[in-house]
Amino acid sequence: MIVISACLLGENCKYDGKNNLKEKLLELDNVVSVCPEVLGGLSIPRDSCEIISDRVITVNNVDVTNEFYLGAQKALEICIENGVDFAILKANSPSCGCNGIYDGTFTHTIIEGDGIFTRMLKENNIECVDEKTYLKEE
């Protein structure tokens, strides 16, 4: 079973109320979709967020760390219940970023690191890639 970030499957759950649809991913079978941020109680739309140290902070300096961890935990439980062993996640996201996230300055600068949900997946031995790697995009 594969977990995919819901925004990549066309769900309008991004911080700006839009999606990141990758139509090629709609062709996959045995898929479960999640948006950890929504599962954590954050609204659509919502302020953009980035990880600063081990906290998740909005562009307006509101700490939403608890919501991110709660949503990631709920999403992980869905993965475990469904026997997920592979994840295709939204690049650079503070939840789903895989091997690269924004640096916390809100300047679109990427640094090495994983989002909160991705960290939990890796801790549970679930293989993670971002959509760019999976789809071989630049």
Left if phi > 0, otherwise alpha if psi is -120 to 50, otherwise beta: which for 53?
Answer: left
pLDDT-based confidence at residue 73 (cuts at 50, 70, 90):
very high
Helix axes 116-123, 65-81, angle to 10 degrees: 40
* Residue pair 75/36 in contact by the 8 Å Cβ criterion: yes
Q: How far apart are CA 85 and CA 113, in angstroms?
A: 21
pLDDT digits (tens, 9 = 90+) for 83-108: 999 999 999 999 999 999 999 999 99
Number of structural domains the chain divides into: 1
The whole-chain average pLDDT of the chain stands at 97
The continuous run of DSSP H or E covering 77 comes out as helix 65-81
Residue 25 has pLDDT above 90, yes or no: yes
Is the per-residue pLDDT at 23 higher than 70? Answer: yes
Instruction: Write out the residue range of the structural domain in which residue 120 sits.
Output: 2-134
pTM, full prediction: 0.95
pLDDT tens for residues 3-12?
A: 999 999 999 9
